Amino acid sequence: MTSSPYSCPQSREQVLNSYFMEHRAKVLDVAAFLDRLDRSQPSGTEPDFRDSAIRDAIRILIDGQPQRAKRILELLSDLSSDIPQSAHGMKGASGAVRSRSGAGS
């Protein structure tokens, strides 16, 4: 049996036919979000870590390398094993890691 580098049972055309419109809308939604950010007034001297994280994720989206979903999930995930001693000041999940060495590089 021949090993194929393609793991999706659908052809590229079938994937586009099935999912293009849904993802077109998602790309437009991200573009509108970035436009809103660009039009907003800065709220501090440092860039917000979530803004940096989304822009790093977009760089991964367009880099043409494999496993984009995995790499973006790892980028946005807190992999620390430290347990906070207090929840004071926490309002829930932030969806990105506040500090990561090498982010954006």
Quote the tokens at residue 71: 């790499």
Give residue-wise pLDDT tens across range 46-97. 888 899 999 999 999 999 999 999 999 999 988 777 776 776 666 666 777 7
pLDDT at 10 over 90: yes
Residue 103's pLDDT is what? 45
| Residues 49 and 95: beta-carbon distance below 8 Å | no
- Does the global pTM surpass 0.85? no
pLDDT at 2 over 70: no
Residue 40's pLDDT is what? 92
Residue 42's pLDDT is what? 84
Residue 90's pLDDT is what? 64
| Residues 57 and 103: beta-carbon distance below 8 Å | no
Positions of E strands within the chain? none
